[in-house]
Chains A and B, each alone.
Chain A
């Protein structure tokens, strides 16, 4: 394998092909991390709502989750980019099509964020529901309100319990971010494809891309493991509070 092409002047843009790779990495990280911020906050809210004692909070959250996690991500990407601007009121649609800054990027972030939110919601819900019911009873019995019970009793443990599956979702969003290339975001995979077309170094450039993805995901895995150890509860062995 010969990686010297990375140092050759690129077809356009004035730099070398390595600059394309770095630019691709930048967009991959931006799409993924901004998408994760949406996914984690919206997903947490939805997950909490799915455990609410009243149906009018629970049902909309359930509908959201079932809708977003059952439509393929690729289809959702097209819907956000091509369909949403046509079905919202005309003024909004026109703004989306002509005024929105970096429309491909913004749509990719929104799509990935709201899709992953449905998966995060399920993790949060399962974390809350894995808590023994007596924990809620004990918190309410001492006079805490239900929101206080979530804030101080249920969520701190629920989030700890779901760190491992949450790591998987966090990893998946980096890998899913490559779907953004279908609507024209020049993230890592798109750049690799482009470089392959200009240099015919297909094998090498995808090797580079693979290594970069692996480095990102390994970093995430180890950070989450660090977080898991950092938040470990002394003496807690999981399951019920026996």
Chain B
């Protein structure tokens, strides 16, 4: 479904991504982890071309992301994305946040879009909050709305960029629960996260990055059981000790 081949990216002279190659198959959940500044967020943002890259190739269902002729808005509309800081639009009601792209990008009618939005809000347990503005919700609630907003486009895959990093601890689980449910329903997911518990429960594969490189790309059991690289062992020992 998503295939990356030898992707490299530079900011000026500084190389943020070094020859990254990985793939996400249909129905697969891939967790990307690694220390801060390792390029995880940059990597996931290259998938829908929010971050351009200079070398290599990324295809989504066979369509090249980097090719000049690609209809990027159309490609992006088929991939949902959830951000660290939610990025709901503060001036719109919750339901309008979820309606916006359905109406403007997919051309759905307002009624059709609202019906879809309401059913998704119900699914994430927030149907009572449809008429509120994002600023009136807690962080966890906002992030669940953001997930519903992504799902409203009937995406072929969902990208999560540190979806729980900006949340207070007591709100992390409500978001992870929604994501876990989504994974069990067979959604194709690429998740940048530090939540190793989530990774070990839900992920099929784990991609470990360090200094712009994909150091390890392994099945979950292999990654947590016997990481091959020293850097991954070191990272896991630091992160799993508490």
Binding site for B on A (CB under 8 A): 132, 134-135, 137-145, 148, 152-153, 156-157, 160, 233-237, 240-242
From B81, B101, B133, B153, give the contact of A234 (CB < 8 A). Answer: B133
- Decide if B132 touches A234 in the complex (CB within 8 Å): yes
Binding site for A on B (CB under 8 A): 45, 48, 50, 73-74, 76-81, 83-91, 100-101, 104-106, 132-137, 139, 149-150, 153, 166
Given contacts A141-B50, A235-B136, contact A152 B87 (CB under 8 A): no
- In the bound assembly, the distance between CA atoms of A114 and B101 in angstroms comes to 36
Given contacts A134-B83, A236-B91, contact A142 B132 (CB under 8 A): no
- In the bound assembly, the distance between CA atoms of A134 and B134 in angstroms comes to 15
- Decide if B90 touches A241 in the complex (CB within 8 Å): yes
- Decide if A241 touches B88 in the complex (CB within 8 Å): yes
Given contacts A143-B74, A152-B100, contact A137 B91 (CB under 8 A): no
Shortest Cβ distance from residue A106 to the other chain B in the assembled complex, whole angstroms:
38
- Decide if A148 touches B90 in the complex (CB within 8 Å): no
- Decide if B50 touches A140 in the complex (CB within 8 Å): yes
- In the bound assembly, the distance between CA atoms of A140 and B75 in angstroms comes to 11
- Decide if A233 touches B83 in the complex (CB within 8 Å): no
Q: By CB atoms of chain A within 10 A, which of B77, B101, B106 has the most?
A: B101
- Decide if B132 touches A235 in the complex (CB within 8 Å): yes
A142 proximity list for chain B (CB < 8 A): 76-77, 80-81, 100-101, 105, 149-150, 153
Report the tally of A-B residue pairs with Cβ distances under 8 A: 91
- Decide if B105 touches A137 in the complex (CB within 8 Å): no
B136 proximity list for chain A (CB < 8 A): 234-235
B79 proximity list for chain A (CB < 8 A): 141
Residue of A whose beta carbon sits closest to that of B100:
A152
- Decide if A236 touches B83 in the complex (CB within 8 Å): no
- Decide if B101 touches A233 in the complex (CB within 8 Å): no
- Decide if A135 touches B89 in the complex (CB within 8 Å): yes
Residue of A whose beta carbon sits closest to that of B149:
A142
Residue of A whose beta carbon sits closest to that of B87:
A138
From B45, B78, B135, give the contact of A236 (CB < 8 A). Answer: B135
- In the bound assembly, the distance between CA atoms of A144 and B87 in angstroms comes to 14
Q: By CB atoms of chain B within 10 A, which of A142, A234, A242 has the most?
A: A142
Residue of B whose beta carbon sits closest to that of A240:
B85
Shortest Cβ distance from residue A72 to the other chain B in the assembled complex, whole angstroms:
38
- Decide if B104 touches A152 in the complex (CB within 8 Å): yes
A138 proximity list for chain B (CB < 8 A): 81, 83, 87-89
Can you sample 16 A-B contacts with CB below 8 Å? A137-B50, A137-B87, A138-B81, A138-B83, A140-B50, A141-B48, A141-B76, A143-B74, A144-B104, A156-B91, A233-B133, A234-B133, A234-B136, A235-B132, A235-B136, A241-B90
- In the bound assembly, the distance between CA atoms of A73 and B90 in angstroms comes to 38
Shortest Cβ distance from residue B108 to the other chain A in the assembled complex, whole angstroms:
12
- Decide if A135 touches B77 in the complex (CB within 8 Å): no
- Decide if B76 touches A140 in the complex (CB within 8 Å): yes
Shortest Cβ distance from residue A53 to the other chain B in the assembled complex, whole angstroms:
11
B77 proximity list for chain A (CB < 8 A): 142-143
- Decide if B85 touches A143 in the complex (CB within 8 Å): no
